[in-house]
Chain A
Amino acid sequence: MRRVTVLLCTCGSTLLEKIDFNKVSKELYKNPLVKKIEIVDGLCKANTVKSLSLDANERIIAAACSSRLLEAVLKNLSNAKVIEFVNIREQCAWVCDDKEDASSKTIRLLNGSINRAVRSNPPQYSDGLKIVREAMVIGGGIAGVRCALDIANAGYRVYLIEKEPSIGGIMAQLDKTFPTLDCSICIEGPLLSEAGRNKNITIIPNSEVVGVKGRVGDFRVLVKVNPTYVDPEKCNGCGECANVCPVYQPNKYDVDLKPVKAIYCPFAQAVPLKYVINKEYCIECGLCMSVCTRAAINLEDKPKMLELNVGAIVVAVGSDLFDPRLKPEYHYGEYDNVITNMEFERIICASGPTGGVLLRKDGKPAKRVAFIQCVGSRESGPGIGECSYYCCAASMKEARLILEHDKDAKVFIFYNELRAFGKGWEDLLYRRCLEDGIVFIRSRPSEIKRSPNGNLIVVYEDTLTGKRSELEVDMVVLALGFKPSENLAKLAATLGVSVDDQGFIEEAHSKAKPLETRVRGIYVAGTCHGPRDIVESAVEGSAAAALVISLFRSGNVKLPETAVVLESKCTGCGRCMPVCQYDAIVRDGEKVRVLESLCNGCGACISSCPQEAIVLGDWGIEQLALQISGMLGD
């Protein structure tokens, strides 16, 4: 029989007057499972523990204070393994007025644990599992680039996976940034080229993650690299090809406003600075091939698959913006001068389609401009229910940019609640806007109409005065909210991370683990887990890098105890699958299997399995039954 040693702690003399230790000891010796009982005066004291000379094979039950205090202390004091902790201080001595009661409760709790311990195994302090000390960052916006740089600068290899031909994300497309109105690409450009130069960073553009296997410390990621028809090793970015290419296409970087050739480089500061072909427009005339002195062009290029082995993954894929066509009352795409704020950023930018002059479609300058806030945010309609965080500040910034270009322009901002909460926003944005004469109107306009002269008429009710009015302007800018797309949902499913009600990636815990996901070893940064601005995205990039680095420096990974399906017992009924809140149980042929990377060891599955085919450490029904009968016995 596997017998146990019970250590009864008097906690100095604290518990002596509350619990009758002689009686407890006498009663417990009646239990044939008890080998030895030691009454000690402080299990948390090094001297006490040493004098006990416990051996590593001894099966110990510690009856003392809260295991949350004691477990950590004891682990450092002795190599003996405690199988069970019984809290006789906070749960017996301190809650009972009567010594008799406290003593009999102590006896019952201990008899339960002694019974249970017969079937329990000593805790395994394993050496842990190996860690591959290389990381993957998915998405090369400001969050992903900041993250990749920080991990790389700590000495680890980073694969930076970017869907587009260049890294940079939204920030590369912006003209100026709030609240300081400094040039966006001048801030981000140097970071992009630093990432391009860094020996520890491998940028893999035009690529996407299509499969993930494994667990924290050891993921195998399948990456699909889409063809660009130009060999990046050979291309030196001279641009001769684009000079001869006869076909134009809209450039995604310029929100389709400024055409480029079918063979193109998305923007001057692109990293990598390589040309690529948009096959949708290419007519395969071969002119580019004839001028490329480095023979870099291959019109037969095919997708490639890479399998990368990494220890940690940071998801920083950003979010899409709301599709304004879903608000037919604003006639975006139908009325010429209703534009999005993203289009505005390109138009007002000196390198944009009009060289930085705010022109209407008919070529006339826009003199009266209205911004409509919360398009696709804070609503129960097709957008998201949340505030999109950046757009009040972005519109105030854009309003000020209009006046910087043209002092005589008139700007109106239709807002719901004006939110200027960030550092410098009140002063540099809101107050300056008021000083500059920008007009704030509290309203969510109901409609945009078109007047015969081509001007736009905003129909609105001022919610401060209750008056309905109309305002005639040259141009309306829609401040779009963030709205995650199918693209994000697909990636989340591939990675096994969950999404929230709005479609953003869900954190493991919004406060305690704000950059972790439900998959250990997969982190998030930036707008892919909810609206935020550049500063916060960059901060999160650095913070996620710190998590990755601390994982890489932590020796080996230790996973929590996870559930295991006994293949011989499982009938494949699948009852356990919907019960698992972490989607950790998957089909495996006829049977099911638990993914250790997702399992949190809650045990919900165990109690749902009609075959008793799932085990989780010592948390079997048998152990619980033994404990209960031990407690309730006479």
Chain B
Amino acid sequence: MVAWKPKIIAFTCWCSSSGVDQAGFEGFKYPANVLTVRVPCSAIVNPSIVVKALEEGADAVLLTACKPVELRKIAPSRITEARVSLLRRLLKTVGVEEERVRILWISSNEGGVFANEVSRIVEETERLGPLNLRGRMLEQP
């Protein structure tokens, strides 16, 4: 039997996508089960799309975004941060572990950070086991 491997969807904003590409360019390795979806900005990711990914079989969802910098008022990723934290709390109420949805600050030159962080996240998700959101929802009383 093939060992179970989690599937992880990573929404990567334009800038952090460069970081993701850089990880490969610099020879960092990370597990193959992290699937990237490139978006213009993390703030475009509707919470319902995150839920959709979990429903479709993802065991965890990751959003990589630019760190909102102090002194710069314009920072759409602050909105992402707020939405992610709300979504995590909502998911918890239906029994989904908060660790299944995360935000990571990755700037366009942080390939190594991305590789390390996703490797850790894959391990942690392996420990959580399969999500099977659809099945779990059916079992809900």
Q: Are A and B associated in one complex?
A: yes
Q: Which residues of A pack against B, CB within 8 Å?
A: 66, 68, 87, 89-98, 101-102, 104-105, 108-109, 112, 498, 500-501, 506, 510, 518, 579, 581-582, 601-604, 606-608, 616, 619, 621, 624-625, 627-629, 631-632
Cβ-defined contact, A96 with B29, below 8 A: yes
Minimum Cβ distance to chain A for residue B29 (Å): 6
**4 tightest Cβ-Cβ pairs between the two chains A and B:** A603-B44, A90-B24, A604-B43, A607-B46
Q: Which residues of chain B from 21 to 80 have any CB-CB distance to chain A below 8 Å in the complex?
A: 21-25, 27-33, 35-37, 39-41, 43-49, 52-53, 56-58, 71-76, 79
Nearest CB in chain B: distance from A28 CB, A: 16
Given A95-B115, A628-B56, CB of A105 within 8 Å of CB of B21: no
Contact present for B24 and A94 (CB under 8 Å): yes
Does B20 belong to the interface (CB within 8 Å)? yes
Q: Does A628 contact B45, Cβ atoms closer than 8 Å? A: no
List chain B residues, Cβ under 8 A from A604.
Answer: 41, 43-44, 76, 79
- Say yes or no: B24 contacts A91, CB within 8 Å: yes
Residues from chain A with a CB closer than 8 A to the CB of B73 are 498, 500, 506, 581
A68 to B24, CA, bound (A): 14
Question: Which B positions have Cβ atoms within 8 angstroms of A?
Answer: 7, 9, 18, 20-25, 27-33, 35-37, 39-41, 43-49, 52-53, 56-58, 71-76, 79, 83, 115
B25: A residues at CB distance < 8 A: 66, 90, 94
Q: Once bound together, how far apart are the Cα atoms of A602 and B25, in whole Å? A: 27
Task: Given the known inter-chain contacts A604-B79, A628-B9, please indicate yes or no for A97 contacting B41, CB distance below 8 A.
Answer: no
Inter-subunit contact B32/A581 (CB<8 Å): no
Contact among B21, B33, B35 with A90 in the assembled complex (CB-CB below 8 Å): B21
Q: Return chain B residues, CB-CB under 8 Å to A91.
A: 20-21, 24, 36
How far apart are A207's CB and chain B's nearest CB, in angstroms? Answer: 30
Asked, given contacts A89-B24, A621-B48, A631-B9, whether A582 binds B74 with beta carbons under 8 Å apart, the answer is: yes
Decide: A632 and B57 in contact? CB cutoff 8 A: yes
Chain B residues near A582: list those with CB within 8 A. 74
Instruction: Report whether A632 and B56 are in contact in the complex, using a CB–CB cutoff of 8 Å.
Output: yes
In angstroms, how far is the closest chain B Cβ from the Cβ of A521?
A: 18
Looking at chain A's contact residues, is the secondary structure mostly helix, strand, loop, or mixed?
Answer: helix
Q: Are B35 and A95 in contact (CB under 8 A)?
A: no
A109 touches B74 (CB 8 A): no
Residues of B within 8 A of A631 (CB): 9, 35, 37
Residue of A nearest to B61 (CB): A628
Which of A94, A112, A607, A632 has the most B CB atoms < 10 Å from its CB? A607
B72 to chain A, nearest CB (A): 8
Closest A residue to B118 by beta carbon equals A95
Contacting pair B48 A112 (CB below 8 A): no
Between-chain CB contacts (< 8 Å), 11 pairs = A90-B20, A90-B24, A102-B32, A498-B73, A498-B74, A501-B71, A581-B76, A582-B74, A628-B49, A628-B53, A632-B58
In the assembled complex, which residues on chain A have CB atoms less than 8 Å from the CB atom of B20? 90-91
Chain A residue with the shortest CB-CB distance to B48: A621
Q: Which residues of B contact A87 (CB under 8 A)?
A: 21, 24
Q: Kindly state the separation between the CA atoms of A463 and B7 in the bound complex, as whole angstroms.
A: 63
Verify B35–A108 contact, CB threshold 8 A.
Answer: yes
Q: How far is the CA of A616 from the CA of B73 in the complex (A)?
A: 23
Closest partner residue, chain A, to B13 (CB atom): A602
Q: How far is the CA of A621 from the CA of B49 in the complex (A)?
A: 7
Chain A residue nearest in CB terms to B24: A90
Q: What is the minimal beta-carbon distance from B90 to any residue of chain A, in angstroms?
A: 15
B40 touches A602 (CB 8 A): yes
Taking the closest CB of chain A, its distance from the CB of B79, in whole angstroms, is: 5
CA distance A607 to B44 in the complex (A): 6
Residues of B with C-beta under 8 A to A96: 29, 32
The winner among A101, A500, A602 for most chain B CB atoms within 10 A is A602
Smallest CB gap from B75: residue in A: A581
Q: What separation, in Å, do the CA atoms of A439 and B39 have in the docked complex? A: 61
Nearest CB of chain A from residue B42's CB, rounded to whole Å: 9
Residues of A within 8 A of B45 (CB): 607, 624
Q: Is there contact, CB below 8 Å, between B37 and A624?
A: yes
Q: What residues on A are CB-neighbors of B7 within 8 Å? A: 632
- Complex-state Cα separation, A518 to B76, whole angstroms: 14
Are B43 and A607 neighbours in the complex by a CB distance under 8 Å? Answer: yes
Contacts of A602 in B (CB 8 A): 40-41, 43-44, 76
- Say how far A563's CB is from chain B's closest CB, in angstroms: 10
Q: Quick check: B28 and A95 within 8 Å, CB to CB?
A: yes
Is the pair B79, A579 in contact by a Cβ cutoff of 8 Å?
yes
The interface residues of chain B lying within 8 Å CB-to-CB of A625 are: 49, 52
Structural contact, B43 and A112, CB atoms closer than 8 A: no
Distance from A67 Cβ to chain B, minimum over Cβ atoms (Å) = 8
Closest to B49 in A: A624
On chain B, the residues within 8 Å of A92 by CB distance are 32
A563 and chain B: residue at smallest CB distance: B44
Establish whether residues A603 and B21, one from each chain, have CB atoms under 8 Å apart when the complex forms.
no
Tell me the bound Cα distance from A87 to B19 in angstroms.
Answer: 13
Q: Are B27 and A101 interface neighbours, CB within 8 A?
A: no
> Which of B21, B32, B49 is in CB contact (< 8 Å) with A98?
B32
> Which residues of chain A have C-beta atoms less than 8 A from B28's C-beta?
95
Nearest chain-B residue to A506 (Cβ)? Answer: B73
Whole-angstrom distance between the alpha carbons of A628 and B48 in the complex? 12
Determine how close the nearest CB of chain A comes to the CB of B138; give it in whole angstroms.
19
CB distance from B3 to the nearest CB of A (A): 13
